[in-house]
Chain A
Amino acid sequence: MRNKLEAQLEALNDKLIEMGALTESAIAMSIQALERQDAALARKTIAFDTDIDQMEKDIETLCLRLLLQQQPVAGDLRLISAALKMITDMERIGDQAADIAEISIFLMDTPYIKKLEHIPQMASAAMKMVTDSLDSFVKKDLSLANAVIAYDDVVDGLFEQVKADLIELIHADSKNGGQAIDLIMIAKYLERIGDHAVNIAEWVVFSIAGRHNESFQKRYD
């Protein structure tokens, strides 16, 4: 009985990492599509979201089956409940990657008003957060998870920067408005991706330590 539970938990762990790999790829692809104005890649990213959604359903089923059949306790129960929450965040990241790809398709035909500078920086920062949050899950690394949570400030800072850049562009020429709005949405999606990475990191902290991170506590108090 115990062995079966262990095997299923192992499978759950692997599936979570696999889903993480999919979301990581989705963001990387969407950013690349945006930077290179590559419509084919953007479409591929949007199609990729279906795989991520399917993965979410699979993991959810596995979690529910585990809960019903094995009645896990302590660490095992925490892992499963954290997994259930984490897949929601990962699925949202996948959605946002698809959203970015969708907007980048709109932006395909017109050259960028100004060379993208802070958005790629933001993208790599958000990407790093997602990668690190998944790494912290794989390695069960509390300090890395906490580092991800702290890193959110960097992404938030960059968002403010992008916002300032775009305001300046609109000031310079009101014709820039359309593209600026699209870009601010992309920045917002990236900022949200950062937030989801923070959530993942918080669930990692919970599943390892059995308690919530301080910032999480504050947010929900």
Chain B
Amino acid sequence: MEKRIFRYMSLIIVVTVVSLAALWGLLLERQLGTQAREGLRSLRVSLIRDDGAVIFDNLADTATLDNHQNRPEVIAARQSGTGESERFSDTFGEKSYYYATKTADGNIVRFALTVDSINALILRYVPVFILCLLLVLLFSFFTAKRLTRRVVEPINTMNLDRAEIETYDELSPFVARIEAQKKEIFAQIQALKDRADVIAAITQNMKEGLILTDDDGVILSANRSALDIFDTEDAAGKTLLHICRNLELLQKNQQCLAGESAALLLERNQKMYSVFLNPVHTGNTVTGALLLFLDVTLTYDAERHRQEFSANVSHELKTPLTMISALAEMIENGMAQPEDIPGFAVKISAQSKRLLHIIDNIIRLSAFDEGRAFAEYSSFDLGELAESVIDSLQDSADEKQVRLTVTGEHFSVKANERMFDELLYNLVDNGIKYNQTGGSVIVTLSRKDDSYKITVADTGIGIPPEHIHRVCERFYRVDKSRSQKTGGTGLGLSIVKHIVEYHHGQLETESVLNQGTTISCFFRL
């Protein structure tokens, strides 16, 4: 770059100096020639007498001329033989040079030459000068422009992305610095991007919904789960109001944006979410809110079921106890007639048995829950077991006029016999209890490859579709008013379910209202 600038500057100076010198020379030569010629033409010769009177003048009338005695050149010539002087005429802007010499006869010859003054000379050549100046300026302008362009062009077209940058040596420190900074920035961007990717990967794969809003409640980002919760494709840039119109959530969000953490339970699309709202602080000001949505449907349902279970247990235990207590009180107070007492005793005994039965079932279920159920497996004939169960239930079946049958093949299985006895007992017992008079319960045993199936089908009242998925819950009753009539505890199917699960089997319930229910248990051999 240095060289280039030097070259151009030198060029401008040389061109200017040379052109000016040439012009000057030209003008000088021209001026000198003109002056010599004009000088000869306009040379004024005067002959002055000793007393100062002009006796000859080639250009002026001698009569009009005054006495020249006091002219400096005349005085000098008279004294020393020759004399010179110069005078400037402001009026004509001219300068006159005089030369006088004394002749042998005592007269004086004087020569006068008038030339233009330097001002006049300059004035005469002003246009030429201006023209010349303009030319030089023009030349300098274009050269300077070209210089600038040539110097700057490599800088302008410098490609910083290219690995090797070809430019002036003088700029290489800057280029190196820029290069280093570029690498640094790139590394930082990459690091930030990586971090953002990690955060995005975490939030996008979270099962919990996550929403981040700014201080106006406008959503900045929402993860996949949050978008799914609110059935929306894109939430960024919208306010919370656009995706959820739950007043409590909106109000809690306002509270959160005021700087206070909040939490609530939100129901949406038949699911329960526990929502936590936390303000995001920057310094002392709240700059946004962070909303976390946890799906607590299962916990919520479990809690609800637990509450129902507790309520049911109390209810189931209370009913027989109330009866026992009432009967006992009547006997105690002597309100019962002696002949009624045996009847009361039968009732008390029955209710106590029922109580014991319920408690026994609850204890057994708790044992399943705690995983400490009897675990001995033995081989036994399933057909024989089914037949013995049917025998034991024959009496109650006869009472309701329900026909009990076992069909299918006899085969040996390896399982806990006591549990299977209970399983079959509960299923057949339910089949009888919820049957119509004159109906039937058919136990079918079948085997295929490495699995077998126990099916108990009744022709009873059936289970309404909306209840079918809940019948295995403890104490769950389709028709709560029937429990007294049938004497059921509401625990039978729950125990069946546990036994099936204990043997790693599967339970299927099919039912048509008023036509019957079929419960199938699948096991591996």
Contact = CB atoms under 8 A, between A and B. Distances in A.
Interface of A: 14, 17-18, 20-22, 24-25, 131, 134, 138-139
B346 interface: no
Contacts of B245: 17-18, 20-21, 24, 131, 134
B494 interface: no
Give the most central of B232, B239, B245: most A CB within 10 Å: B245
Closest 7 CB pairs of A and B: A21-B245, A25-B247, A17-B241, A138-B242, A21-B247, A24-B245, A20-B245
A22 B245 CA distance: 8
A32 to B, nearest CB: 12
Contacts of A18: 241, 245, 250
B214 to A, nearest CB: 15
Contacts of A17: 241-242, 245
A139 B238 CA distance: 11
A131 B247 CA distance: 13
Contact of B246 (A14, A21, A134, A139): A21
B416 to A, nearest CB: 42
A104 to B, nearest CB: 20
Interface string B227-270: 00000100000010110011100100000000000000000000
Contact of B247 (A14, A22, A134, A138): A22
Contacts of A131: 245
Nearest to B238: A138
Give the most central of B232, B241, B250: most A CB within 10 Å: B241
Contacts of B241: 14, 17-18, 21
Interface of B: 232, 239, 241-242, 245-247, 250
B47 to A, nearest CB: 102
Contacts of A20: 245
A112 B282 CA distance: 56
Contacts of A134: 245
A91 to B, nearest CB: 16
Give the most central of A21, A22, A25: most B CB within 10 Å: A21
5 contacts: A17-B241, A18-B241, A21-B250, A131-B245, A138-B242
A44 B245 CA distance: 19
B467 to A, nearest CB: 14
B143 to A, nearest CB: 53
A144 to B, nearest CB: 11
Contacts of A25: 247
A194 B232 CA distance: 24
Given A17-B245, A18-B245, 8 more contacts: A14-B239, A18-B250, A20-B245, A21-B246, A21-B247, A22-B247, A131-B245, A138-B242
A133 B250 CA distance: 20
Nearest to A23: B245
B402 to A, nearest CB: 30
A18 B239 CA distance: 11
Contacts of B239: 14
Nearest to B249: A21
A25 to B, nearest CB: 5
A14 B250 CA distance: 12
A20 B245 CA distance: 8
A10 B196 CA distance: 31
Give the most central of B239, B246, B247: most A CB within 10 Å: B247
A131 B242 CA distance: 12
B230 to A, nearest CB: 10
B441 to A, nearest CB: 31
Contacts of B250: 18, 21
Contacts of B232: 139
A3 to B, nearest CB: 16
A22 B239 CA distance: 16
A97 B386 CA distance: 59
Nearest to B247: A25
A161 B245 CA distance: 31
Contacts of A139: 232
Contacts of B242: 17, 138
A14 B242 CA distance: 8
Nearest to B239: A14
A201 to B, nearest CB: 16
A24 B246 CA distance: 9
Nearest to B241: A17
Contacts of A14: 239, 241
Nearest to B242: A138
A16 B239 CA distance: 13
B18 to A, nearest CB: 66
A147 B247 CA distance: 25
A22 B242 CA distance: 14
A134 B246 CA distance: 13
B448 to A, nearest CB: 43
Nearest to B232: A139
A1 B435 CA distance: 78
Nearest to A131: B245
A44 to B, nearest CB: 12
Contacts of A22: 247
A25 B267 CA distance: 13
A25 B249 CA distance: 12
A143 B44 CA distance: 119
A70 to B, nearest CB: 22
A22 to B, nearest CB: 7
A194 B245 CA distance: 19
A28 B135 CA distance: 93
B182 to A, nearest CB: 38
Give the most central of A22, A131, A138: most B CB within 10 Å: A138
A139 B247 CA distance: 19
Contacts of A24: 245
A18 B246 CA distance: 10
